[in-house]
Amino acid sequence: MSKKMQSELVAILSDLIALPSPYPPGTSVEICAYTAKRLKKAGYKVEIVTKAKGVDNVVARMKGKGKGPVIAFNAHVDTVGVGERANWKSDPYKALVKGGLVYGLGAGNCKGSMAVQIWLAEEIARRGGPAKGELIFTFVADEENLGPNGMEHLRKSGKVRPDALILGAQTENNLIVAERGVMWAKITTKGRAAHAGNPAAGDNAILRMMRLVGALQSYYDKALARRVSGAMKSTVNIGMFHGGHNTNVVPSACTVEIDRRLLPDEKVKDAFKELKRVIDGVGEPKAMYQVEFLTGTNGFFAPENGAAVGAFEAAVKAHSRRKVKFLNATGVSDGRYYADDGIEIINFGPGSGAQGHAANESVPIAEMVDAAEIQMGVVQRLLG
């Protein structure tokens, strides 16, 4: 392991940790300016793309001389908040190097991967750039918010349309090539207020909601039990339930928000239709409830015989003398915005998922080095 490479990676990560970018508020101007300056100096064509004020994104491009694929790397620049400051043993905005680890807010999720990708971009430029195709590095905000102003905007605006998308993630340098879709929906019920001493004079919106949710849960208990693909399962969760405004009043309104996780072969629009069909079948008066689609993206599955996946398998074996593991994703990544584009989407990077969003999060320096060298091997295999 090169000491020079270690020190360079730690220095970049230390700089990134010292540039606060928590959500809320999600401001990314300073950290993106830092990144853009480095990559422009390295010789990339750099653009700062902004849809919402204060929410900057960096897109850096370098083309090869020959024809070839477009390979995009991605890391999100935003972090969660500090949380309870007393739970941190060190300054969350000052990198602490100890025991082969770098500690600090975002060290694992996702500034460790970001540091690796910045180093990778600069090293590729030092070596003369890609021989063919196009290499793109994207550093985006609005990931922790699941918002529309980061990677989703780059996809919709046409700024980034790759053949393969490699996202920084805490995978301990293994691969996530499949991800479930997500669909959020909201159910609202109406009722008629009355004094709690005479509930028969009113119409209880919470009880109406309980009938709807009960029917929904009963349906999903049976239907989703059969929707399994390997380690992935189709799931449902009642995430929020709000109703009433005073204990002694019959509630006139109630709302519920639902999270559905979908197998890659399930589609968001079909999942919403399914939910609405079940609700409509309960028999409540149509004027007394509403089912609303909030947001959603389809899942994806990159075939294990794809060019980018194959390049990772070969690079991991060549560098680490091991067979790469394919992990199951619990959450969702920014790759979901490209789920319907027919491209390879891969999550890869240093660190453990258990470290993300936790006080005293850290990333192993050795894993950062390995991640950089493995991804250099991937670029060499794909772009020369």
**What are 167's strand-pairing partners?**
74, 347
Q: Which CATH number among 3.40.630.10, 3.40.50.300, 3.80.10.10, 1.10.3720.10 corresponds to the domain 3-179+299-383? A: 3.40.630.10
What percent of the chain is helix, strand and coil (3-state, nearest 5)?
A: 35, 30, 35
- Predicted TM-score (pTM) of the model is 0.90
Reported in sequence order, the residue ranges of the chain that DSSP labels E, i.e. its strands, are: 45-52, 55-63, 66-76, 96-98, 101-103, 132-140, 164-168, 178-179, 181-190, 228-229, 232-233, 235-243, 253-262, 289-297, 300-301, 344-348, 362-364
Comparing C-alpha atoms, which of 315, 367, 322 is closest to residue 346?
315
For residues 331 and 344, what is the distance between their CA atoms, to the nearest angstrom?
18
End-to-end CA distance of the chain: 23
For residues 57 and 154, what is the distance between their CA atoms, to the nearest angstrom?
9
**Is the separation of the CB atoms in 308 and 220 below 8 Å?**
no
CATH number of 181-297: 3.30.70.360
The domain spans of the chain are 3-179+299-383, 181-297
Which residues of the chain register pLDDT less than 70?
1, 304
Query: Which pLDDT does position 304 carry in this prediction?
Result: 67
**What are 49's strand-pairing partners?**
57
Locate 250 and state its tokens.
């019959």
Comparing C-alpha atoms, which of 14, 5, 22 is closest to residue 107?
14
Peptide bond into 32 cis (omega under 30): no
- For the stretch 38-83, pLDDT in tens is 999 999 999 999 999 999 999 999 999 999 999 999 999 999 999 9
H helices of 224-286, in order, are: 268-280
Query: Which pLDDT does position 205 carry in this prediction?
Result: 98
Query: Which pLDDT does position 146 carry in this prediction?
Result: 86
Locate 171 and state its tokens.
């995978």
Query: Which pLDDT does position 1 carry in this prediction?
Result: 55
Reported in sequence order, the residue ranges of 77-130 that DSSP labels E, i.e. its strands, are: 96-98, 101-103
For residues 383 and 129, what is the distance between their CA atoms, to the nearest angstrom?
9
For residues 23 and 223, what is the distance between their CA atoms, to the nearest angstrom?
36
Which residues lie closer than 8 Å to 198 by C-beta, 6 or more apart? none
**Is the separation of the CB atoms in 346 and 309 below 8 Å?**
yes
**Is the separation of the CB atoms in 79 and 111 below 8 Å?**
yes
Please state, in angstroms and as integers, the Cα–Cα distance from residue 100 to each residue in 15, 17, 96, 258, following that order: 18, 17, 10, 42
Residue 23, CA atoms < 13 Å, CB-side half-sphere: 20
Please state, in angstroms and as integers, the Cα–Cα distance from residue 328 to each residue in 105, 109, 146, 163, 323, following that order: 25, 17, 20, 23, 16
CA dihedral 273, 292, 144, 304 (to 10 degrees): 10
Locate 276 and state its tokens.
């609405």
Locate 266 and state its tokens.
């399930």
Could you tell me how many helices (H) and strands (E) the chain has, helices first?
8, 17
Peptide bond into 350 cis (omega under 30): no
